[in-house]
């Protein structure tokens, strides 16, 4: 379970949308293998009857009255944008060429 | 005037109330101290002298009218750079947010402002709070005021170094796996991770939502309690915020300071001592436990058998949540945007990939990849699912231990501060620093680290854990330890810290 190959790291980087360089992949793969090996120790600790915990305190859905509250202005929301046009976020083309 | 920076926040609040000093005077004293020592320490990423002095003037005017916005009105504070602040950059120690000024305040920051505390600036941290040394900050490491060649802990090394270098009387930190408590331990300061949900996370840039918690970073237990009281309590903007009154943490700190712990049952966690803990750390811990007995506490040994798996479970849950959270840095709405080299009219996705490569540092990439792996199909049950089951087992261990003891104790960190660079290329060795602090995050329980003395001239921390919502207990026991030890030392541990090299300040 703990083996993680160069190709797998490249695939994961692709899923995570990070353009890792070849050198970065070479460095990351063995580091991740060491971490995964350490983590593997938990494989047999819990039997199937142990329920999972996602949050330490029990969560219930939170509701509020459906009333208008002040929010960010368009200027505030756009203040940190890399590029804007006509009070909108300006982004690179979304569709691929093919 | 420089002695203003040596005083506790509670003493400064009293001096303000007595009219002995003004908020402007003590804000200026701290800004001068920052200018003098921060070249060597690098606790701050951003200092807002103008904003802090303006808030100080308002505080003084308020006081002149006979009003007060809070018990800490006029006492300045530093804020970890992972909490959003209007008018000040919030970078999270990352290039991807370089220069970003948020359009809204974190709830805790809004509460500081409403309480009249001048904000001195933003403190350094490991990128997105991922690390135990601040070496993963994109803006260079913070140095430990006890030895500038050593780490100040992490991820909140900046906040801990700021208070222990007397460059702020108070600071805010965040603790996902120990990022408040471990820096407190290695810098000889006090740090509290409150009960999960006890303090709002709104405006805290998330690493791992189910573990992250804001808390106080100070030099005394009472100061931490005063800050906790101010920032704690329900926030409708955070759906995980607990809708219950904040426990009487200030009263508990005052009660603990009397030094009387009769009737209190203290559990020493077997799995968090002994092997893997530096000899000097273990010694200071054992001595501190003996002091608790002297104070009247009943000490028992408790076993939490699943704590040995906490680190592994944490290093699956945290990266999984982090990889998902950090997907928001997509170069579209805020933050860095980098176009790939040699690509004409790149697509949004190409820009996203290039930006995330250029904007994230090594440790962040490591954890995103690890989290992506743990969540990917085929591995989800084996990794993330198993880790969540371990989380259940750890919570059960805590529940069983709290049947036998009112509080649990351990060393905060297995070692004293190591040298900068020593563990940078060995992620696993770096992760081991959080061995004793992680279980509390997984179970959501509160914890404090207080100074326990020195080992080879470097600070050691003593950790106290309590059941969820019983934050007052960690303050009571923390204050009792502080009283007993400062009595023996003849003053606070930080009085023994070497003088820092200072830069001449022209004003």
Decide if B158 contacts B143 (C-beta within 8 A): no
Chain A hits for B330, CB-CB cut-off 8 Å, are 17
Q: Map out the domains of chain B with their CATH numbers.
A: 2-307+392-496 (3.90.1300.10)
Low-confidence stretches of chain B (pLDDT < 50) are 1
Find the residue in A nearest to B332 (Cα): A91
- When scoring B202, B305, B320, B369 by the number of chain A Cβ atoms within 10 A, the one with the most, hence best to mutate, is B369
Query: What is the C-alpha separation between B150 and B458, in angstroms, rounded?
Result: 10
pLDDT given at position A45 = 87
Q: In whole angstroms, give the CA distance from residue B393 to residue B386.
A: 11
Min Cα distance A5 → chain B (Å) is 12
CB B67 within 8 A of CB B83: no
Residue B500: predicted pLDDT: 95
CB contact under 8 A, A31 and B351: no
Of all residues in chain A, the one with the smallest CA distance to B384 is A52
Q: Which of A57, A58, A67 to mutate to test the interface with B (most CBs of B within 10 A)?
A: A57
B186 reaches A (C-beta below 8 A):
no
Q: How far is A30 from chain B (nearest CA, A)?
A: 11
Q: What pLDDT shows up at residue B377? A: 80
The stretch A65-86 carries a mean pLDDT of: 94
Q: What is the ipTM of this complex?
A: 0.94
Could B388 and A52 be called an inter-chain contact, meaning their C-beta atoms sit closer than 8 Å? yes
Tell me the pLDDT band of A97, cut-offs 50, 70 and 90.
low
Task: Look at the alpha carbons of B443, B305, B130, B451 in this order and tell me if their dihedral is positive or negative.
Answer: positive
Distance from B344 to chain A by nearest Cα, in Å? 11
Task: Give me the pLDDT at residue B506, please.
Answer: 59
Identify which of B103, B347, B362 has the shortest CB distance to residue A93.
B347
Identity of the residue in B316, B347, B391 whose CB atom sits nearest the CB atom of A96: B347
| Domain extents in chain A | 6-42
CA distance B407 to chain A (A): 18
CB spacing of B370 vs A32 below 8 angstroms: yes
Residue A1's pLDDT is 45
> DSSP character for B226?
H
CA distances to B253, B315, B336 from B368, rounded to whole Å, are 40, 11, 18
Quickly name the fold that domain A6-42 has: Histone, subunit A (1.10.20)
**Which residue from A1, A19, A53 is facing B353, i.e. has the nearest CB?**
A19
């Amino acid at each position: 379970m703990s083996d993680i190959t160069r190709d797998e790291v490249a695939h994961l980087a692709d899923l995570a949308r990070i353009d890792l360089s070849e050198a970065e992949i070479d460095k990351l793969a063995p580091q991740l293998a060491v971490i995964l090996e350490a983590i593997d120790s938990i494989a047999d600790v819990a039997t199937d009857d142990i329920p999972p915990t996602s949050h330490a305190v029990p969560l219930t859905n939170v509701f509020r009255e459906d009333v208008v509250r002040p929010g960010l202005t368009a200027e505030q929301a756009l203040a940190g944008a890399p590029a804007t046009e006509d009070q909108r976020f300006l982004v690179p083309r979304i569709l691929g060429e093919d | 005037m420089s002695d203003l920076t040596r005083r506790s926040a509670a003493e400064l609040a009293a001096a303000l109330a007595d009219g002995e000093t003004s908020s402007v005077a003590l804000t200026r004293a701290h800004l001068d101290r920052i200018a003098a020592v921060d070249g060597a320490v690098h606790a701050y990423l951003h200092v807002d002298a103008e904003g802090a002095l303006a808030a100080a003037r308002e505080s003084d005017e308020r006081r002149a009218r006979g009003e007060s916005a809070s018990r800490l009105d006029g006492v300045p504070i530093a804020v970890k750079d992972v909490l959003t602040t209007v008018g000040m950059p919030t970078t999270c120690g990352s290039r991807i947010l370089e220069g970003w000024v948020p359009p809204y305040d974190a709830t805790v920051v809004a509460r500081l402002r409403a309480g009249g505390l001048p904000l001195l600036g933003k403190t350094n941290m490991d990128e997105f709070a991922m690390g135990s040394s601040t070496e993963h900050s994109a803006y260079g490491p913070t140095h430990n005021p006890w030895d500038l060649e050593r780490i100040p802990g992490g991820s909140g090394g900046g906040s801990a170094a700021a208070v222990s270098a007397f460059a702020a009387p108070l600071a805010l930190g965040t603790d996902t796996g120990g990022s408040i408590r471990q820096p407190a331990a290695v810098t000889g300061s006090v740090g509290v991770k409150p009960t999960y949900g006890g303090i709002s996370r709104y405006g805290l840039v998330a690493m791992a939502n189910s573990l992250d918690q804001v808390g106080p970073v100070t030099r005394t237990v009472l100061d931490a309690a005063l800050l906790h009281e101010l920032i704690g309590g329900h926030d409708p903007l955070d759906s995980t915020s607990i809708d219950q009154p904040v426990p009487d943490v200030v009263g508990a700190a005052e009660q603990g300071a009397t030094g009387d712990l009769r009737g209190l049952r203290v559990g020493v966690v077997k799995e968090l001592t002994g092997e893997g803990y530096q000899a000097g750390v273990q010694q200071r811990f054992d001595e501190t436990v003996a002091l608790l007995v002297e104070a009247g506490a009943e000490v028992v040994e408790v076993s939490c058998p699943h704590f040995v798996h906490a680190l592994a479970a944490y290093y699956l849950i945290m990266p999984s949540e982090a990889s998902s959270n950090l997907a928001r840095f997509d170069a579209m709405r805020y933050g860095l945007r980098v176009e790939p080299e040699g690509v004409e009219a790149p697509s949004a996705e190409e820009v996203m990939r290039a930006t995330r490569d250029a904007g994230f540092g090594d440790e962040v990439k490591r954890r995103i990849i690890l989290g992506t792996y743990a969540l990917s199909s085929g591995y989800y049950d084996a990794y993330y699912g198993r880790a969540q089951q371990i989380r259940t087992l750890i919570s059960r261990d805590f529940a069983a231990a709290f049947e036998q003891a009112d509080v649990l104790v351990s060393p905060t960190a297995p070692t004293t501060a190591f040298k900068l660079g020593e563990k940078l290329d060995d992620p696993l060795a770096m992760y081991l620093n959080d061995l004793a602090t992680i279980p509390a995050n997984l179970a959501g329980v509160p914890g404090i680290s207080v100074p326990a003395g020195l080992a080879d001239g470097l600070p050691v921390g003593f950790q106290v854990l309590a059941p969820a919502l019983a934050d007052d207990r960690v303050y009571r026991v923390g204050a009792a330890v502080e009283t007993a030890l400062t009595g023996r030392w003849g003053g606070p541990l930080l009085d023994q810290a070497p003088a820092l090299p200072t830069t001449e300040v022209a004003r």
